[in-house]
Structure 1
């Protein structure tokens, strides 16, 4: 059983969160706190496995409290707030997840589903924390799409064939590198990009990330990399030594534009339960670039990416997966390996080197 302290100055929101979390198997709210100072004392007293934090609180701002918590008592923390513009602060300072509070149009059933999805996705991390292993920073896609839900609020799995036709490139195009990641991917991508050197082919990234946080994450990668990193915009022409991150609420694809490649964003249903979807990116790259591509599948829960990575593999693309030892969650890489879609299994520490080797023609 994972124990939780809910921190929110609103008594009604504390009651809602407590009821929703207590209805999730293996989770129990053991205390509530009205502000950061109350929370500090109750964390010392109860030693929870997880805390939820609101940003707008009296006496001490939630981000300031999060920063202090990570410095003095590092532990898994999920931000549950109506404020979505400070993603850099939230994730840079140690949050492992973000759940937007519901707006006036969202039902409590939908809100409860988003809370359950996030907490269940964090169980691997919580197991490590309860075993006294250091917690890792994690971003989880938690947006809920009514387009993908049945009448009971349960998401349907949409296959990539339903939204993007399988038309693989007959001949290899100019080199492109495509990366897919989810749980644990924020920190993992940062480690890779810190090692990459310029003069690489264009890099496309789909990281499962909440809407409102992709731009700040792209800026963070740009700050810590020698490459130019952008949040992808519709119509962008791909350039060498540049990387493009899918927005948190759009699928990212590419299309041929003369002798160049251009980004095309799609506002459609979730695919493989995600938006953006790794499968959609990989399918698009296979359709346009085919055997000229490199595809990398990194840490993450679920199977997004495995279907279309196999298509890339079959079309002659160079495919690698992050190894289990260096993954926060070995879900997505494991599924791709099981699908027979991987040429090399690589430690996180070596992924940057493999990308640079591919760009120099050393790996195919």
Structure 2
């Protein structure tokens, strides 16, 4: 079952789209929003698998909202609009589908058929884009008072810290706002840095294109991580949107290992899993950075790292889009340095040269 947020300023059109989507067995409208600002709050509240967006909306038009969504919280989006002339443009803005609203006397049956065909054609992508939702969110008879069980990293990767391998590695965790923030950091990084591992909360399908975008805007060779990749200087490895990224030692070499297990700290990929792995394998010679994001993913792993003398850094409040994950890590006493986004690249360079510990 895939959950949908319908965004449209017309009450009648919201109701029509909702009823039509709810007729499709694989989909359920979990909520509706009247404009972009309402949608932003409901995306945070309900974490839908997919959103439908109208272009003509008050306060902020759908195109601007779509671009902001792809920048700050990438997720599958289908535009349902009367502006058919925008049909090609919206794919460049990040949409995965476009459905024109009925015009010229088109029947509602025909409109419903187009909605159904579009959404069903996207299921093969949604299987990769989405993390499985707890039953409380997807059941047609859901219990709204149900609480999702939060998986601790111990259930996926037990803590066995290494005191010091002498191997330099940078682990970065980020979420909401991380896409643009990571771009800003990587644009200022030089070649030949120690390997960088990144766990950014992002749906699978977007992660590969984001890795290419980072690569195109950086001197670092960035790629979406695959299982068993040899970690090399001057390279960065981004966790796929549906797998945990970890590191393993194989003889004298260090390689990526992807884990297809439960969500940890409510996420997959999880920053906690990445940090726990780095602490276990690399230990005190590593550097860990926690950046903008909602929630507390990364706090457990970073606290373990801090206690193991890993060099830990958090993005400061003023430069965060959402001061959630860094704030939680700071409050837990897991952070050595608190740094403005503009300075994170220099801190990485300094660490690589042995100037920061």
Normalised by the length of structure 1, the TM-score is 0.70
Instruction: Show the counterpart of 1:253.
Output: 246
Moved over 4 A (4+): 6-11, 13-19, 48-53, 55-58, 78-83, 100-106, 146-154
Q: 1:245-324 to 2 correspondence within 5 Å?
A: 245-324=238-317
Counterpart among 5, 8, 27 of residue 5 in structure 1? 8
Q: CA deviation at 1:15?
A: 5.8
Rg larger for: 2
Counterpart among 179, 182, 186 of residue 189 in structure 1? 182
Which blocks of at least 5 consecutive residues in structure 1 are unaligned?
A: 30-37, 71-77, 84-99, 112-140
Q: 1:41-190 to 2 correspondence within 5 Å?
A: 42-43=56-57, 46-48=58-60, 54-55=78-79, 59-62=84-87, 64-65=89-90, 81=97, 143-146=131-134, 152=143, 155-190=148-183
* C-alpha contact (below 8 Å) 2:54/2:81 kept by paired residues: no
Normalised by the length of structure 2, the TM-score is 0.71
| CA displacement 1:3-52 (0-9 Å, x = unmatched) | 9526999954576599643489x9489xxxxxxxx955x43xx3358767
Q: CA deviation at 1:65?
A: 3.9
**RMSD value over aligned CA atoms?**
3.8
- Measured at CA, do residues 62 and 105 of structure 1 come closer, stay the same or move farther in structure 2, by a change above 3 Å? closer
Instruction: Show the counterpart of 1:215.
Output: 208
- Measured at CA, do residues 63 and 207 of structure 1 come closer, stay the same or move farther in structure 2, by a change above 3 Å? farther
Report SS of the residue matched to 2:85.
coil
Q: CA deviation at 1:103?
A: 8.0
* C-alpha contact (below 8 Å) 1:158/1:270 kept by paired residues: yes
* C-alpha contact (below 8 Å) 1:54/1:62 kept by paired residues: no
Report SS of the residue matched to 1:229.
strand
- Measured at CA, do residues 16 and 80 of structure 1 come closer, stay the same or move farther in structure 2, by a change above 3 Å? farther
Give the paired residue count.
292
* C-alpha contact (below 8 Å) 2:54/2:80 kept by paired residues: no
Which blocks of at least 5 consecutive residues in structure 2 are unaligned?
A: 1-5, 23-27, 41-52, 67-76, 100-117
